[in-house]
Structure 1
Amino acid sequence: MREADPQKLDALVGRLVGDVGASVTGALVVLGDQLGLYKAMADGKPMTAEDLAAKTGFKERYVREWLSAQAAAEYIDYDADTDSFSLSAEQAMAFAEEGSPAFFAGAFEIVRAMWLDEPKIADAFRTGAGVGWHEHSKCLFRGTERFFRPGYNSNLNNSWIPALDGVKAKLEKGARVADVGCGHGASTVLMAQAYPNSYFFGFDYHGPSIDRAREAATKAGVEDRVVFEQASAKTYPARGYDLVAMFDCLHDMGDPAGAGRHVKETLADDGTWMIVEPFAHDQLKDNLNPVGRIFYGASTMICTPASLSQEVGLGLGAQAGEMRLRRVALDAGFTRFRRATETPFNMVFEVRA
């Protein structure tokens, strides 16, 4: 057995304690989110455990233990003088306000799916087979919508589409848009709400997600201009789209270049392919940071298995980087590829024939 450096070992154990604490707290975030505990505290008023139990109808002993754990994680504030708990404005944005640009509870549902589906991924490690998106636990689909929606709320119509050459003007005048890999339709509905003269078509191979997307369109009152259909990225119908968008899904596809060739066939003259992908540098060493840690982990458990379950099975991964994505676009027959804009979590590319 090799001799360990005591200081390095202490530092590692300290990080592990933090990570175990984060894992435990993640389960409690899911619990509090599903039970509506955060939303019951959203107004910021201090509450004792008894107060919260009375407001929610849950048993005080359980509520107190949950509150104590949340306070230890600094996700909820605690006042020892009054033995009361409260959500700060910032904490409410992260845990209680679904429309907030900082809402984070959905991310923990994605993590929950990783734990639930770990045996499937372990089998895939042994066999080399993939695990399709549809084979995951349902909380993944719901969590993905809730996690990505705040970023789309903040950026899609405010900065991403305006960064594309001439696209905003087309949408304002009236255009046809395909949202490929639309999932629950959050991005599709947001665009439809912002551009009332345009028509939108959302496609996803996952039938239950399409059903949910249709419900979302009806709830938003845009069902007259939004059509959702079950179809893959290589089979969705061609309708001369002015814009084809793919949000955080190209790297999940087994044959992204093949999907790109189909995009080229379905675009109108002078149409645009917008690719939104997780932010990543081209070299691994430059992605060894907190954001890269999350994306590589999700890629191991969700994205790469999804790609390997399909034909070709390229396995780009969630940290593909601009160079590999550019190669996909060029292999698909496009000649113009540029990074239009970016956020700390996403890169937005404009692709043209």
Structure 2
Amino acid sequence: MSTETSVPSTQPTAPESAATAPPDATPAIDMDALMAFVFRAVDEVGATLNAALVVLGDKLGYYKDLAANGPTTPAELAARTGTAEPYAREWLNAQAAGAYLTYDPPSGRYTLPPEQAIALTVEDSPAFLPGFFQIALGTVHDVDHILDAARNGAGYGWHEHVTDVHVGCERFFRPSYNANLIDAWLPALDGVVEKLQEGALVADVGCGHGASTVLMAQAFPNSRFVGSDYHEASIATARRRAADAGVADRVDFQVAPAQALPGSGFDLITMFDCLHDMGDPVGAAEQVRRALAPDGTWMVVEPMAGDHVEDNLNPVGRAYYGFSTLLCTPASLSQDVGLALGTQAGPARIRDVATAAGFTRFASVAQTPFNRVLEIRP
């Protein structure tokens, strides 16, 4: 061992760069920031559990009972809904802790504020939310399948998910269609309403339970509609919905994938919140191009998104990226091609799909906080 000692240099030493820093160097920890994140995560766990609680309250009739009867005790809620009081009590407490309900300690009563009552009980309100929670809960239910798919690069089909996914999807989007489709979105398309009033041929591709198809058929009795979806169970529901609405004489629902769109010469072809789920959206767009009349219109309604990741770093984008990871991207990867556009594809990527299929005109014509409406023409 050397007996030499080193002499400290009198010259200033430059700070180590990130490239030369010791490999075991760790950044300083801001304990306040750490604990703030921990408590934010606790809130996230509560929110995750609350998705199940909202679905529970919706299915057990708790919200509607509170809206109808005002300030309520757990015993009263349980008695009126035919449920066990311990469950009603703990559910009420959880809802009060999350500010879905208010609690009055002197009386021991819980109240559903009027604003929450609209969002949680009025199914034809565009603010209606239980369907959103229902599709979220159903999506999370199937996470084990997504774990396997992520490891092997496979997909998981829409038809493979639990029923809450299919039912919740319609319950979430239908109020927005009811509020906007006839009075705002269709009028935003050049000359389409006039054609529908006179009598047009319309295809609603990826129609699911047929909410959009039935709505258009009710508004435009002179037109004829073909709704199609590859999910047989959804088409069976759509046929019942058309019969119940009294429009079965002008609506034909068929089991068919987008690439096998039945018929041709359509004046209007619509896709509501489904193009990004398709394995081969370009192939579907090419089929739309072939099936449209020369002066026809392709209306694409997609989840609201910007073209860049940073455009979507907001509450709506966060929810949609979650659905994209667990639901929409696996659905696309389960099909041929598996392009996996993602729920937050944005208008530029949809334009690329349309252009690849031979369309030449593309415009964003309407939007809501949850949807963007695109007009695509040959």
Shorter-chain TM band: over 0.9
Hey, what does 2:362 align to over in structure 1? Answer: 337
Hey, what does 1:120 align to over in structure 2? Answer: 145
Select which of 47, 56, 63 maps to 2:88: 63
In the alignment, the residues of structure 2 paired with residue 238 and residue 153 of structure 1 have an alpha-carbon distance, to the nearest angstrom, of 27
Instruction: List structure 1 segments (4+ residues) > 4 angstroms apart after TM superposition.
Output: none
Hey, what does 1:231 align to over in structure 2? Answer: 256
Aligned amino acid, residue 179 of structure 2 = S
| SS of aligned partner of 1:74 | coil
Q: How does 1:115-264 map to 2 (within 5 A)?
A: 115-264=140-289
In the alignment, the residues of structure 2 paired with residue 76 and residue 7 of structure 1 have an alpha-carbon distance, to the nearest angstrom, of 31
8 Å CA contact retained: 1:185, 1:213: yes
In the alignment, the residues of structure 2 paired with residue 322 and residue 138 of structure 1 have an alpha-carbon distance, to the nearest angstrom, of 30
TM-score normalised to structure 2 length: 0.91
Instruction: Name which one, 1 or 2, has greater alpha-carbon Rg.
Output: 2
Hey, what does 1:111 align to over in structure 2? Answer: 136
Measured against aligned partners, the alpha-carbon deviations of 1:291-348 in whole angstroms (never above 9, x if no partner) come to 1111111000011111111111111000111111101000011111111111121111
| SS of aligned partner of 1:275 | strand
| 1:269 paired to 2:294 | yes
In the alignment, the residues of structure 1 paired with residue 253 and residue 103 of structure 2 have an alpha-carbon distance, to the nearest angstrom, of 46
Measured against aligned partners, the alpha-carbon deviations of 1:148-194 in whole angstroms (never above 9, x if no partner) come to 11111111112111100001111111111111000011111111111
Hey, what does 1:95 align to over in structure 2? Answer: 120
1:24 Cα deviation (Å)? 1.2
8 Å CA contact retained: 2:264, 2:290: no
Measured against aligned partners, the alpha-carbon deviations of 1:178-220 in whole angstroms (never above 9, x if no partner) come to 1100001111111111112211111000000001111111111
8 Å CA contact retained: 2:261, 2:288: no
In structure 2, runs of 5+ residues without a counterpart are: 1-23
1:9 Cα deviation (Å)? 0.8
Select which of 310, 321, 326 maps to 1:296: 321
8 Å CA contact retained: 2:140, 2:326: no
In the alignment, the residues of structure 2 paired with residue 327 and residue 62 of structure 1 have an alpha-carbon distance, to the nearest angstrom, of 51
Hey, what does 2:311 align to over in structure 1? Answer: 286
In structure 1, runs of 5+ residues without a counterpart are: none
8 Å CA contact retained: 2:225, 2:251: yes
8 Å CA contact retained: 2:329, 2:340: yes
More moved, 227-236 vs 78-87? 78-87
In the alignment, the residues of structure 1 paired with residue 41 and residue 251 of structure 2 have an alpha-carbon distance, to the nearest angstrom, of 47
1:122 Cα deviation (Å)? 0.5
In the alignment, the residues of structure 2 paired with residue 238 and residue 223 of structure 1 have an alpha-carbon distance, to the nearest angstrom, of 18
Measured against aligned partners, the alpha-carbon deviations of 1:59-96 in whole angstroms (never above 9, x if no partner) come to 22221111111111111222223221222221111111
Q: Tell me how large the CA RMSD over aligned residues is.
A: 1.2
| SS of aligned partner of 1:54 | helix
Hey, what does 2:43 align to over in structure 1? Answer: 18
In the alignment, the residues of structure 1 paired with residue 363 and residue 285 of structure 2 have an alpha-carbon distance, to the nearest angstrom, of 15
Measured against aligned partners, the alpha-carbon deviations of 1:239-291 in whole angstroms (never above 9, x if no partner) come to 31110000010001111111011001111120000001111111112211111
Measured against aligned partners, the alpha-carbon deviations of 1:207-235 in whole angstroms (never above 9, x if no partner) come to 00001111111111211111111001010
| 1:73 paired to 2:98 | yes
8 Å CA contact retained: 1:103, 1:147: yes
| SS of aligned partner of 1:300 | helix
In the alignment, the residues of structure 2 paired with residue 41 and residue 221 of structure 1 have an alpha-carbon distance, to the nearest angstrom, of 33
| 1:315 paired to 2:357 | no
TM-score normalised to structure 1 length: 0.97
Aligned amino acid, residue 231 of structure 2 = H
1:42 Cα deviation (Å)? 2.3
In the alignment, the residues of structure 1 paired with residue 335 and residue 93 of structure 2 have an alpha-carbon distance, to the nearest angstrom, of 45
| 1:29 paired to 2:29 | no
In the alignment, the residues of structure 1 paired with residue 218 and residue 66 of structure 2 have an alpha-carbon distance, to the nearest angstrom, of 30
In the alignment, the residues of structure 2 paired with residue 290 and residue 192 of structure 1 have an alpha-carbon distance, to the nearest angstrom, of 34
1:44 Cα deviation (Å)? 5.2
Select which of 31, 38, 51 maps to 1:6: 31
In the alignment, the residues of structure 1 paired with residue 42 and residue 272 of structure 2 have an alpha-carbon distance, to the nearest angstrom, of 35
